[in-house]
């Protein structure tokens, strides 16, 4: 099971609760078939009067649990998870017992211990001026390497295109124009090369 925790509650504690309820349920229903690929997302409740909400598809591989901010009641959270877990087992509401259907805390007594979880304040990483300067220099070096690589690829492409232009310049017949109209000097720039080809193709008229 992969836990996608989008709250400030401790991820390890949430995972422990989810696994404890699944272990208790697996005692008589067997291990959930999709447990290894299951994704459980925990996020903060957005709106509404209910503190704990969730959803899951029948026999699905994903469940979303919405919880309140501040503190989390372990029994209420576990009861919500057991409700959604039954959907993942393929059960519909008509198959539920009343305590599981209405997410009653007594439905998970014996699976988890009562208590509360509090949010863990995110730690702000302190970056020293030297570290910040080093990071900026590294970013600039990486950008320079990318642009130099692009320049090298562009130069290679230009060389190949010029080679192809010279090839076609030699293939174009020149009998229809006077020798004096041709620029006998080998073109040095792209503009000269293109002009020479146009001169050969159009008899000296652009």
Task: Write out pLDDT tens, residues 157-168.
Answer: 988 988 888 887
Residue 185 lies in a domain: yes
Residue 178 lies in a domain: yes
User: How does residue 147 score in pLDDT terms, banded at 50, 70 and 90?
Assistant: very high
Residue 171 lies in a domain: yes
Domain count, the chain: 2
Q: What is the pLDDT of residues 102-140, one digit of tens each?
A: 999 999 999 999 999 998 877 777 778 888 888 889 999
Residue 35 φ/ψ region, left for φ over 0, alpha for ψ in the -120 to 50 degree band, beta for the rest: alpha
Final residue belonging to a domain, choices 93, 118, 143? 118
Residue 123 lies in a domain: no
Determine if the pTM surpasses 0.85.
no
Name every residue whose Cβ is closer than 8 Å to that of residue 51 and which is 6 or more positions away in sequence.
45, 67, 68, 76
Residues 94 and 155 in one domain: no
Residues 23 and 114 in one domain: yes
Residue 12 lies in a domain: yes
Cα separation, 111 vs 12, whole angstroms: 17
Residue 17 lies in a domain: yes
Straight-line distance from the first to the last Cα atom of the chain, in angstroms, rounded to the nearest whole number: 71
Residues 113 and 134 in one domain: no
User: How does residue 13 score in pLDDT terms, banded at 50, 70 and 90?
Assistant: very high
């Amino acid at each position: 099971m992969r836990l996608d925790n989008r709250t400030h509650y401790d991820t390890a504690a949430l995972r422990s609760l989810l696994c404890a309820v699944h272990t208790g349920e697996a005692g008589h229903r067997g291990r959930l078939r999709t447990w290894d690929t299951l994704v459980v997302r925990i996020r903060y409740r957005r709106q509404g009067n209910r503190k704990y909400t969730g959803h899951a598809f029948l026999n699905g591989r994903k469940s979303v649990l919405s919880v309140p901010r501040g503190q989390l009641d372990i029994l209420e959270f576990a009861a919500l998870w057991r409700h959604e877990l039954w959907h993942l087992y393929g059960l519909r509401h008509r198959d539920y017992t009343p305590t599981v259907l209405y997410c009653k805390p007594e439905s998970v007594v014996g699976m988890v211990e009562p208590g509360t979880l509090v949010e863990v304040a995110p730690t702000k990483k302190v970056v020293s001026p030297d570290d910040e300067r080093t990071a900026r220099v590294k970013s600039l070096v990486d950008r320079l390497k990318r642009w130099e690589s692009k320049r090298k690829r562009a130069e290679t492409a230009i060389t190949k295109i010029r080679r192809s232009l010279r090839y076609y310049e030699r293939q174009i017949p020149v009998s229809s124009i006077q020798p004096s109209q041709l620029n006998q000097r080998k073109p040095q720039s792209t503009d000269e090369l293109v002009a020479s080809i146009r001169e050969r193709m159009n008899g000296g008229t652009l």
